Amino acid sequence: MLTKFKSIFSIILLAGILNAAPPALHVYVIPFDNVKNDVGIGWLSDAFAEMVNAELSQHERIYLKNKDGLEEIMTNRSLLLQQRPGTKNLLVLGKFERSLNKITISIQLIDIATWDELSNGRVRGDYNNITDINRKLSESVNTMLIPYLPKVEKGPYPTLTEGKRMRIPPSYGEKAIDMSTAIDVAIIDLEKKLDLNIGARGEIDPKGLREENGEWVLDISKDSYKDDRPENQINTHMMVDVLSNLMHNPYSVKIERPQFNYDPENRKEFQIVMSVNYGLKGNIIKDMLTSLPYSGLKQDGNLTVFYFNRDKYNFPEAITEKIQYGKYRTIPVIQLQDANGNPLVILVDSPDQSIHALNSNRVIYKPFHYFSNLIDFTVGGWSMQVALETVDIPVSYRFNMDVNQANDISRVSLKFIPENELHDFLNNLL
């Protein structure tokens, strides 16, 4: 009988504890709706959702759900009944559109249980200042959710807590022993380094300060951080994939059909106009925002700079060398070819004077310099920066050509060639 009474009492006590636990708030954040299906700003659909998630993740007892979580709760509405009493399920619905250089975002807060609109907001900002839009969006969502944040009410039973149990603070004796040991270790290490430098231990530290033929030398070629941290391998693999794509093929190009106009001063020649528009591919910034956990982000007009630190990444030697030697920089080479694919005109948009000196009897060669790389990399001992410039470069290439040769042009080809491979590429054509 006593055992049965204890079991009943335990069940009642457990039920009381569960009921006394503070309610939770489930917030479903899905990609924002691109109202006008503007391809150029399509990447913002996921970016705005990530901004909201980053802001709400700072609140305690808010459980963030994505599109999959919303589909699950919509497919099986009975899941709402299995949640802790007082739990709310709210959906953040967002849509945006661009007008000239302004972005307008509309936000709705929906109660999933009843589909009632609880609140709404509107944010407007400059497309060239995503940082400011992020701040306004975060403030708006925070304001809308404040009335629905869980409030912990004290009950007659202890509440369930989350997290790890705290360690008992060390005693003064333990602190004294630890400090004394640390001092002893530091002194021994210092003595060893001093002895090594003066040769007292029979050897000289090759990385330490030493005297060589009257010259004091300190080798700093090896930094104090570890080159490879096992915990950074996953992030490093992602970084290598994304940066390799950025270096290999980051540009989008629009080429208009060449215009052939008779030269008024020489009827035997055409004045040919080649119009090309250069720009970065639209998904590049989206991939950078959503794929890699960057350490910092700076927005300055059309320039976006991502910062990556060694606390999250290892910098592979191949990537580092490619950046340091500028092997990612490319030059656009345009070929106007005949029906057999033979080049009749080669346009090389390069400032290199040695390239300008090249010539050929078979190919009409014209150098230009209008294109500029819209992506730049910098790597140091601790950090790496990736700068992206979201502008278009409209270029109009103009040159004269013999009428008979111009009539043989049937195809236009444009290829980005790495700077260090440009000479070899052209020598094979000329």
The encoded tokens of residue 153 equal 């009410």
Are the beta carbons of 111 and 89 closer than 8 angstroms?
A: yes
Instruction: Kindly state whether residues 259 and 393 are assigned to the same domain.
Output: yes
* Backbone CA torsion sign across 173, 177, 183, 187: positive
**What is the C-alpha to C-alpha distance for residues 86 and 109, in angstroms, rounded to an integer?**
18
pLDDT-derived band at 160, boundaries 50, 70, 90 = very low
CA distance 154 to 198: 67
The per-residue pLDDT for 366 is 76
SS3 category, 22 = coil
Number of domains making up the chain: 2
Q: Which of 98, 122, 148 is the last residue of a domain?
A: 148
Residues 357 and 259 in one domain: yes
Per-residue pLDDT of 36-76, as tens digits, reads 887 778 888 888 888 888 888 877 778 888 888 888 877 77
In the listed set 109, 130, 148, which residue is the last one of a domain according to the structure? 148
Looking at the chain, the whole-number percentage of residues with pLDDT higher than 70 is 77
Does residue 154 lie in a domain region? no
Per the domain annotation, does 103 fall within a domain? yes
Expressed as residue numbers, the domain containing 56 is: 11-148
Q: pLDDT tens digits for 253-266?
A: 999 999 988 877 77
Nearest Cα neighbor of 286 from 43, 17, 4 is 43
Last residue of a domain, which of 81, 113, 148?
148
Question: Does 389 share its domain with 283?
Answer: yes
For residues 72, 76, 82, 83, the Cα torsion angle rounded to the nearest 10 degrees is 40
pLDDT in tens, 366-385: 777 888 888 988 887 778 88
Q: Classify the phi-psi angles of 213: left when phi > 0, otherwise alpha if psi is within -120 to 50, otherwise beta.
A: left
Average pLDDT over residues 303-331: 84
pTM: 0.48
Instruction: Return the closest-CA partner of residue 251 out of 336, 370, 374, 347.
Output: 374
Q: What is the CATH number of the domain that holds 61?
A: 3.40.50.10070
Average pLDDT of the chain to the nearest whole number: 78
In this predicted structure, the answer to whether residue 403 has a pLDDT above a threshold of 80 is yes
Task: Indicate if 135 and 21 belong to the same structural domain.
Answer: yes
Question: pLDDT per residue over 186-228, tens digit each?
Answer: 666 666 666 555 555 555 555 567 777 778 877 665 444 445 6
Same-domain check for residues 318 and 423:
yes
User: What type of residue is 192?
Assistant: K
Residue 347 within any structural domain of the chain: yes
d(C-alpha 385, C-alpha 188), whole Å: 40
In whole angstroms, give the CA distance from residue 119 to residue 110.
Answer: 7
**Identity of the amino acid at 149:** L
DSSP summary character for residue 321: H
β-pair partners for 306:
297, 386
Identify whether 320 is part of a domain.
yes
Q: Is residue 83 predicted with pLDDT exceeding 80?
A: no
The pLDDT, as a whole number, for residue 6 is 46
Range in 96-110, 152-166, 225-239, 310-324 the model is least confident about: 152-166
Residue 162 domain-assigned?
no
Integer Cα distance of 289 and 106 in angstroms: 21
